[in-house]
Amino acid sequence: MNVLIIGGGLLGRETAQRLDRLGHGVVLVDESMENLALLDPDFGGVTYAGFPMDLNVLRQAGIESCDAVAVTTADDNLNIAVGQIAKKYFKVERVAARISDPAREDIFESAGLRTVCPTNMAGEKLVSDLVSPWQSRQVTFGVATVALEVQEVERRFFGRTTGDIELPGCGIFGVVKGDGRFLLKETAGHIPLSEGDALVVSRRID
User: Percent of the chain scored above 70 by pLDDT?
Assistant: 92
Q: Which among 7-21, 114-128, 130-144, 190-204 has the top mean pLDDT?
A: 7-21
Distances, alpha carbon 117 to alpha carbons 2, 69, 103, 159, 205, in Å: 23, 16, 10, 28, 11
Examine the pLDDT at 132 and tell me if it is beyond 70.
no
- Closest by alpha carbon to 6, among 67, 82, 59? 82
181: helix, coil or strand?
coil
Confidence band, pLDDT 50/70/90 cuts, at residue 150:
confident
State the pLDDT at residue 82.
94
Query: Which pLDDT does position 137 carry in this prediction?
Result: 73
Asked if 97 and 107 count as a contact pair (C-beta separation under 8 A), the reply is: no
DSSP of 164-175, one letter per residue?
S---TT-EEEEE
- Residue type for position 25: G
What average pLDDT does range 156-169 have in this prediction?
A: 87
In this prediction the pTM is 0.64
Q: Is the pLDDT of residue 206 over 60?
A: no
Higher pLDDT, 202 or 50: 50
The predicted model gives 109-119 an average pLDDT of 79
Residue 118: its pLDDT value, please? 76
